[in-house]
Structure formats: C-alpha cells, structure tokens
Structure 1
Amino acid sequence: MSQELCEMSLRQTQELLKLTDEALQEICCKRFTGEELSVKALQMVLKGKGKRGPASVFVAFNGKGDSVLRGRVFHLRDGEIAERSEEIAVNTLTDYATFAGIIDTHADVVVSNWSDSCESVENYQDFFPNAVKAFVGDVIRNFVTYRISGEMPGVIIAFNYPGRATDYDADVLRGLAVVIGSVFTISDQMRETEKAFIYTIEALARACEAAEEDTGRHIIRVNRYAGALAANMGLPADYVEVIAYSAQMHDVGKIKVPAAILLKESPLDKQELDIIKMHPVYGEQILGDSPRLRIAREIAISHHENWDGSGYPNGLRGEDIPLSGRIVKLADVYDALRSRRSYKPPLSHAEAIGVFRDGDHRINPRNHFDPSLLTLFFKIEHMFEKIYDSFAGDNL
C-alpha cells in the first residue's frame, strides 16, 4: 500500500473522530436522527472523490429479538450521498448466511475481492442478496464488511472500492462502523429522553387544567390544531413538531389563579379579570429560561395578544406577536368556543365557524387574529372539526 493511501486512511479516520467530537459537544442542544449523522459520517469517509472510497454502502441493524437485518444501500459519488434505497430486509439465517459463505463468519471485519474467492466475477455475484445487488446496480467486484456489536447490533458493508479492497480500507470502515453504531445508540437514548421530556410537559399541562372541565382533552386538541396550522403554513418539520407539543403550555400560568375565579359561573368583576389576565405572565415565569422551552414560553406570554394591539398582557400588535402565539391563539379560541364551560354551553362546529366569520360580543376576527392564519383556518377548518370530534369525550 502506498504512503499516499495510508495518509488518506488516516485523514478519513481523523475526520470521523472530529465528527464524533462535534456530535457529543452538540448533543445537549442539537436534535438529530441516527440516519442524519450516519450520512454525514459516510460523506466524510468518501471525501476522496472516488479515488479511494467505495461506490455503495449498505448499513443495516437487527431488529430486537429477530434474525432480520433492516437497512438501506447508499450510493456515494464524489463524497456526496447521490441516492439511497428503500428499506432492505436481509434474513441472517438465509440470505446473509449465503453471503457469509465467502467470508470468515467469526471475524468482525472482513476484506473480500472476487479474485480471491471465485473463478469469475460472475460467480461472485451469487453470494449477495438480490435486493442489495439490485440497488448497487453494478457488478460487485469487492467489499469490506464490519459487524456492529453492542445495543444496536448490525452490519456495514462497503462495495466496489477502486482496484482491490485492502486492510487500510477495513481500518476506515471499522472507524465508520463505530461512529454509526454509537450514533444509533445515542439517538435511541435521546429519543427516550425526549419522551420523558414531553411526558413531563404533558403532566404539568394537565395539572394546570385540572381545575377546569374537560381535563386533558382540551390540551391535546390545542396541540393538534396548532400542529395542523403550522404544517399547512409550510413551516419546517422541527418547528411543527415543537409547536405541536408546546401549545398545551399556553395556560400553564393558570396554576397560580384561584379555582374560584376559573370556575365562577357569573361574570367576573374587574379585580377578578385583572387576576386572570396575569396568567400569561405567570406562565412565562413558570417556564423559565430553558432553550428547550422557548416556543412554549412565547406561547404562554403571547396567546392573548390581538392582531390590532388590543390584547394582553403587553398590547403587542401584528407581527410583533410571536408566530407561535398567533397560531395558538386561534387554536385556543376555536376549542373554547366548542367546549362547555361553567359560564357557557358548547357551540357546534358550524356555530364556531360563524363566530370566526362574523364575530360575537367578545371576538372580532379581523381585529384579533392574524389575517393570513384566519384565511388558512377557513381552508382547513374541516381538520379542526375532525380533531375536536376525535378527542371530545363526554364534552358534547
């Protein structure tokens, strides 16, 4: 092996280490998927622009308790992911067992070239699963494979290195496999942490709604309405996801408002109104300054602001109101109209739509809502009706 190829292998390994370090540094503030970082790692390995990297890479993992490897083949051209297959399933007891017939099944990393194993390159093709061969899309001349062990066992197989596959290629693939195995393990752990985080938010939101009727269902519906509005605005998927669980925190400040005021059946006096109008401020205070709760905090403080500046607590106007607050305001008002409260009966969907068109004694749609959001709402109002009906419970 030439000195140039040795140095290339070293550079590729160093880039993998750098990626791992960056991922660990960002783990507290960056949300990612295992595949996202795996793709980055694959790109780094193949920065040789075809001079040393393989043409295709198969990355697959075992499902828990079964004998099937599930993964994708990635086409890599000039250090970029050119194409990826649909999910491919390889049975380790049949397809992979045949594949393993040309390698030492006890080794973690194996280098194979057709000329070392078969009389012809055509015969070499018989050892590979059809689904993998179909997407590789070329005669397979060599490969390097590495078995990934640990909590997420799997395999990474690189096909068609220029010339012969070598032990130096195996060293790089070993590093790539370690990175990818670690990334999937970390991303699984992060998903579990994310679930715990969202469960905690939901528990707090339910506690804040406990004094009012329709406990729990109201916050679920508002989440769904807000997510539907955000998604149909074409906003980024990450934003849609965050607002779809942060919306439920809109009334978190009510935990500091006396239940006697929240459940009062007669009209509130001025002092009581002043107290209840403080719940956005209380909500902002309760949510604190965590970056993860930024959207929830925006929603809590701004979901009672009006487009014309007549809302509370800060009298914000127009686009000075955070987008998240404008979205949740509309979602919250729709659900409030549809829901039974101590001071009013529930409205039907048609009656609620009438209020959004023509207003009532409390709501002036053109002054209170973002005009573009109001237009969108009328386009997707059937979705709001379906969401409400799906989570209405005994509220009707």
Structure 2
Amino acid sequence: MSDNLCEMSLQQTLSLLHLTDLALRDICCKRFTRDTLYQEVLGKVLGGKGRRGPASIFLVFQDASGVLQPGRVFHMKDGSLVERSDEIALDPLSGYAVNLLEAQSQEEVVLVNWADSYESIEDFQSYFHPAVKNFISSPIINFIICRISGEVPGAIVAINYPGKATTYDAEVLKSMAVVIGSLQTISDEVQETEKAFRYTIEALARACEAAEEDTGKHIQRVNRYAGALAANMGLPNDFVETVSFSAQMHDVGKIKIPASILLKNGPLDDAETALIRMHPVYGRQILGDSPRLQVARDIAISHHENWDGSGYPNRLAGENIPLAGRIVKLADVYDALRSNRSYKTPLTHQATLSIFRNGDERINPEKHFDPVLLGVFFKIEHIFDKIYESFNVNPAN
C-alpha cells in the first residue's frame, strides 16, 4: 500500500480517537442517541471528499439471545451527509446471517475482495442481502466485516473500498468498531443514570406541588408550554430539551413555604408576601451548584422577574433576565390564569388571551413579558390551549 494511503488510514484512525476523546470529555451532559452516535462515527470513516474509506457501511446488532436484529446501510450523500437505509431484517437461517454471525465469532476481521474467491463480480453479488444491494445500487466489489464488542455485540460490514480493500483499511475499521462499542456502552450507562436523575428531579418537583391543588399537572403543563415556546423561537434542540424538562423546577423553593400560606383563602399580609417572594432564592439554594442544573437554577431564581425590572427577587430587567426564566415566566402565568386556586376560579383560554393582550389589575404584558416571547406566544397560543386541556380534568366553562 502506498505511503499516501497509509497516511489517510492513519488520519481516519486519529479522527476516530479525537471523536472518542470529545465524547468522553462531556459524557455527563451529552445525551446522544444511538443514531447520532453512529452518524458521527460513520462520517469519520466513510469515503468522500478525498478520504479513503468504504462507500457504504452495513451496521447490525444482536439481541440478548444472540439473534441478529434488523440493520441499516449508511453511506455518503453529496460527499458529506450520512444517509441511511430503512431497517433491513435478516432471516436467521439465511447464508448472509450465518456469515455475519460466523464473522462475529472471530477475533480478527474478515476481508474479501471479489477476485479472491469468485470468478466474476456478478457471482460475488450472491453473497449479499438483496435489500443491501438495492440501497447501494452499484456492484459490490469488496467488503470487510469486523465484530463490535460490548454489552450489545454486533458487526460492521464496510463495503466498496476504492480499488482493493486492504489490511490498513481493516485496522481503521477495527478502530471504528472499538469506538462504537465503547461509546455505545457508555451511552447506555449514561442513559440509565439520566433516567434516575430525571426521576429524582421529578419526585422533588412533585413534592413541591403536593401542598397545592392540581398536584403534578401544573408542572407537567409548564414543562410543555416552555418547550413549545423554546422550540418555536428556533432555539437549539439541546436548549429546548433542557428547558422543557427544567421548567418543572421553577417553584422548587416553595417546599420551604408553609402550606398555610400557599393555600391561604384570601389576600396575604405583608409578612406572608415577603416570605412567598423568597421562594426563588430558596429554589436556587436547593438546586445547588451542579452544572447539570444550571438552567433549572436560572429558572428558579428568575421566573418572577419582569421585563421592566419591577419583578423579584433581584429586579432584573430585559435581557439581563436569563432566557429560560423569561420563557417559564410566561408559561407559568398562563397556567396560573387557567388553573383553579384557593383564591381564584380558572379562566378560559380566550379570557386568558385577553389578559395577555390588554392586561388586568396584576398583569401588564408590555412591562412584564419579553416582547419577542409574547409575539411567539400569540402565534402558538392554540398549542397552549391544547396542552392545558390535555392535562386538565375540570376545564373552565
């Protein structure tokens, strides 16, 4: 193999190692899906834009009983985008499935160029699943199979290297198999940790709502409203996901407020009002210093700040108020107006819209809400109504 091809193979391997390093560096906050993981890794190895690599990759995994699951073919589109096939099911008794399972049982990779074992390229095609051939569309001239180890074993089939598939290509593929196996195992473990983390946060949020009416429904709705607002502002997906989960922590500080004040049937006196206005501060204290809870802390401390600086606890104004806090403020006010409380009856969606347009004795939309957010709200107000009704047992008349 030429020095140039060796150099390209080395660069691909280094690229994979760099990707692994980046993933491990922020693994605690990166909630990648398997599809995202595959596409990031495959994009480093597939040929295109001067890179040496296979034209296509078939990726397949086994279930706990050892049966091959449906796989997918990935390849480059327009030299950069990873395109994938529909799922391709494998008959466990077919020669193709048997060959894959046999390859997985070997420690080393299996490398085959058509001229090594077949008299013609046409005869060579019989080795491959019809759906794989259809998606690739061009004749298959070579392939390398490599086992993926880990808790969920599988196999990579790299297809159609330029010229001949080589042992150097096989080494790069083995590196990719290690990367996928390692990151997939770590990703699965992180997902389990994430589930436990979310369950704990949700339990805390429910505990904070337990003293009030409409237990649990309010925080679910506010999550959904906040997610809808963030998504329709065109914000990054990670931020939308974080806000739509963290919004439920907006009133976590109320756990330190006596139920007799939270449920008081009538106006609060000055001392009670001052105590209620401490719940954003308590919320920030409860949420601590974890980087994972930064957005939740922003929401807890700032969701009662007003655009004109007249809110509490810090009288922040304009864009000095964290964006997540501005989003949840609007969501929280909408739900409060729609909901039944000990001191008020629920409003209809139309009555709530009227207050968001014209204000009332407590709410001044122009002074209290981010004007951009308010504009987005009016564009999607029907979504808010649907969210409220989907979680509400006793809608307003």
Q: Normalized against structure 2, the TM-score is what?
A: 0.91
Deviation by residue 1:270-313 (Cα, 9 ceiling, x = unmatched): 11111101111111111112111111111111111111211111
> What residue is the counterpart of 1:97 in the other structure?
96
Question: Secondary structure of 2:212's match?
Answer: coil
> What residue is the counterpart of 2:83 in the other structure?
84
> What residue is the counterpart of 2:188 in the other structure?
188
Deviation at 1:339, TM superposition (A): 0.9
CA distance in 2, matches of 1:81, 1:128: 25
Q: Judge conservation of contact 1:34–1:183 (CA < 8 Å) in 2.
A: no
Q: Judge conservation of contact 1:54–1:76 (CA < 8 Å) in 2.
A: no
Matched, 1:362 2:362: yes
Q: Which amino acid aligns with 1:152?
A: V
Deviation at 1:104, TM superposition (A): 6.0
> What residue is the counterpart of 1:198 in the other structure?
198
> What residue is the counterpart of 2:167 in the other structure?
167
Q: Which amino acid aligns with 2:171?
A: D
Deviation by residue 1:221-258 (Cα, 9 ceiling, x = unmatched): 00000001111111111111000010001001111111
Q: Which amino acid aligns with 1:237?
A: N
CA distance in 2, matches of 1:297, 1:83: 37
Q: Judge conservation of contact 2:48–2:80 (CA < 8 Å) in 1.
A: no
Q: Judge conservation of contact 1:99–1:129 (CA < 8 Å) in 2.
A: no
CA distance in 1, matches of 2:250, 2:244: 12
What is the number of equivalent residue pairs in this alignment?
Answer: 395
> What residue is the counterpart of 1:213 in the other structure?
213
Shift of the 357–4 alpha-carbon distance from structure 1 to 2, 3 Å rule, reads closer
> What residue is the counterpart of 1:112 in the other structure?
112
Deviation at 1:135, TM superposition (A): 2.2
> What residue is the counterpart of 1:387 in the other structure?
387
Shift of the 7–319 alpha-carbon distance from structure 1 to 2, 3 Å rule, reads closer
CA distance in 2, matches of 1:338, 1:161: 62
Q: Which amino acid aligns with 2:364?
A: N
Shift of the 102–49 alpha-carbon distance from structure 1 to 2, 3 Å rule, reads farther
Bigger Cα displacement from structure 2, 309-318 vs 38-47: 38-47
**What root-mean-square deviation, in Å, do the aligned CA atoms of Structure 1 and Structure 2 show?**
2.6
Deviation at 1:95, TM superposition (A): 5.1
Bigger Cα displacement from structure 2, 117-126 vs 219-228: 117-126
Deviation at 1:76, TM superposition (A): 4.0
Deviation at 1:83, TM superposition (A): 3.6
Q: What percent of counterpart residues are identical?
A: 62
Shift of the 95–231 alpha-carbon distance from structure 1 to 2, 3 Å rule, reads farther
Deviation at 1:67, TM superposition (A): 3.6
Shift of the 361–15 alpha-carbon distance from structure 1 to 2, 3 Å rule, reads closer
Q: Judge conservation of contact 1:148–1:154 (CA < 8 Å) in 2.
A: yes
Gaps of 5+ in 1: none
Deviation at 1:97, TM superposition (A): 2.9
Shift of the 104–58 alpha-carbon distance from structure 1 to 2, 3 Å rule, reads closer
Q: Which amino acid aligns with 1:293?
A: L
CA distance in 2, matches of 1:66, 1:378: 53
CA distance in 1, matches of 2:119, 2:390: 64
Q: Judge conservation of contact 1:306–1:316 (CA < 8 Å) in 2.
A: yes
CA distance in 1, matches of 2:167, 2:217: 60
Deviation at 1:2, TM superposition (A): 5.2
> What residue is the counterpart of 1:296 in the other structure?
296
Bigger Cα displacement from structure 2, 48-57 vs 198-207: 48-57
Deviation by residue 1:33-69 (Cα, 9 ceiling, x = unmatched): 3343433433444589656422222222235558443
Q: Judge conservation of contact 2:100–2:155 (CA < 8 Å) in 1.
A: no
> What residue is the counterpart of 2:179 in the other structure?
179
CA distance in 2, matches of 1:101, 1:152: 15
Deviation by residue 1:314-339 (Cα, 9 ceiling, x = unmatched): 11112221111111111101111111
> What residue is the counterpart of 2:156 in the other structure?
156
> What residue is the counterpart of 2:128 in the other structure?
128
CA distance in 2, matches of 1:379, 1:51: 46
Pairing of 1:40-51 with structure 2 (within 5 A): 40-45=40-45, 50=50
Question: Secondary structure of 1:54's match?
Answer: coil
CA distance in 2, matches of 1:305, 1:160: 60
> What residue is the counterpart of 1:306 in the other structure?
306
Q: Judge conservation of contact 1:208–1:255 (CA < 8 Å) in 2.
A: yes
Q: Which amino acid aligns with 1:86?
A: S
CA distance in 2, matches of 1:98, 1:212: 58
